[in-house]
Amino acid sequence: MDVMPKWAEVILVPLISLLLAAILSGLVILAIGEDPIAAVKLMVKGALGSTYGWGYTLYYATNFMFTGLAVSVAFHARLFNIGGEGQAMMGGLGVALACLFIPWPHWTLALLGAIVLAGAFGAIWAAIPAYLQAKRGSHIVITTIMFNFIAAAVLNYMLVNVLRPQGSMDPATARFPEVVHLPTLHDILGMVGISFSKAAPANVSLLVAMIACILVWLLIWRTKLGYEIRAYGHSESAAKYAGISPVKITMIAMIISGGLAGMMAINNVMGEAERLVLNATEGAGFIGIAVALMGRSHPLGVFVAAILFGFLYQGGAELALWTSIPRELIVVIQALVILFTGALDNMVRMPLERIFLALRKGNV
C-alpha cells in the first residue's frame, strides 16, 4: 500500500525540500556577510514584484517548460536525454531559416512554420543518438552530450560562415523581418485591457508551451503510444513480451523529446532576440533536466517547476545587479534547489513516511 496520501507525495515533499534548500541558501548568504531576508525580498520583488519582473520570469519559464517536457518524455521511456541544449540550438537554426528565407504573410503562420521547423531540427538532432542507442547500443547519455558540442560547432560555423550578413562583425543572423515578430504579453494582455510591461520578453510562446504541457500529458497518459512509452520505461523485458518494439519506442520518444527541446527556439530566438545569436540557449537545456526531475516528469509538475526556476533565474539576476552577492552564488542556490528536490528526495520522504505511518497507526 502507498504509505503517504497523494497530496503529501506531490505537494508536501517538494515543498519541504524547497524550504530546506532555501534555509541552506540563507546560511550561505549569511556566511558571505549579506542579509538573507533582504536577499529574498529583493528576489521576490525583482522577479514577481512588477509586470517587468513577471515578464522575465515567465520568459525564462517558457524555455524551461519546453526543455523540461523534453527531458520528461524521454525519461518516461527511461532514456536520459542530456542533449536538450544541442537540440534547442538546432531548433534555433530551424527558426532562423524559417524566419529569414520564407516570406510569411502573417506572424501566426510564421509561428506555425517556425514551430514545425524548430521541432523538426531538434527531432533530427535527437534521432541520431536515438538510432545509435536503439541499433548499436551506444549509450544515449554519452551521445547526447557529444551532440551538444557538435550542435554548438555547427551553429558556430553556420553563423560565422553562412548566415552572417555581409560586413557584419557579429556572429549572428540578420534581424528577422518585422512581420514575423511575435506578440509579447504586453500586446496580448493589452487587448483585454491589462497593462503589462512593454520591455519584458515574455511572449505568445508561453501559451504554446502551456498547450505543449497539455498535449504531453494527453500523450503520456491517454494514448497507446504513451502507454507503450511508459511500459518500455518501466520494464524492457515486459515490453518485449507484450510486443512493444524497443527500437520503435526509443526512436519515437527521443524524436518527440528532441522536437520539444527544439521548439524552445520560438521563445528565445523568434520571440526575444528576433535573430539567431551564438549561445542563444544559455543553458536552458540543462535546466530542463532539473525541471523534469523536480516536476517528477509530470507536465503539471514541469509547469510549476519551470516557473520556480524562472523565478530563480530572474530573481538571481536582480540579486547580482543590486547586491554584492556574486552571480556564481545564484548558481549555488539553483544547485541547492536541484540537490534537495531531485537528488535528496528520499531524505525528506523517509521521515515523512514514518510520520504518516505513526499517524495512521494512531488512528486505527
Residues that bind other proteins (CB under 8 A): 1-3, 218, 222-224, 227-228, 230-231, 234-235, 237-238, 240-245, 357, 360-361
106 or 234, CB closer to other proteins?
A: 234
Nearest distance, CB of residue 361 and other proteins, angstroms: 8
For other proteins, the closer CB: 153 or 350: 350
Which residues touch 30 (CB under 8 Å, ≥6 apart)?
Answer: 36
- As measured in angstroms, the least distance from the Cβ of 231 to other proteins is 5
CB of 297 to other proteins, least distance (A): 13
Q: Could you tell me which residues are beta bridge partners of residue 172?
A: 277
**CB 307, min distance to other proteins, A:** 28
Residues with Cβ within 8 Å of 267's Cβ and at least 6 positions away in sequence, in order, are: 59, 62, 63, 66, 203, 205, 206, 209
Query: Least Å distance between CB 137 and other proteins?
Result: 11
Residue number, 252 or 265, with CB nearest to other proteins: 252
309 Cα distance to chain centroid:
9
| C-beta of residue 148 within 8 angstroms of C-beta of residue 85 | yes
Residue 237, number of CB atoms within 10 A of its CB: 7
CB of 121 to other proteins, least distance (A): 26
Q: Which is nearer to other proteins, 85 or 228 (CB)?
A: 228
Task: Count other C-beta atoms under 10 Å from residue 223's C-beta.
Answer: 11
**Residue 225 or 277 with smaller CB distance to other proteins:** 225
| DSSP string of 36-66, one letter each residue | HHHHHHHHHHHHHSSHHHHHHHHHHHHHHHH
CB 173 within 8 A of CB 97: no
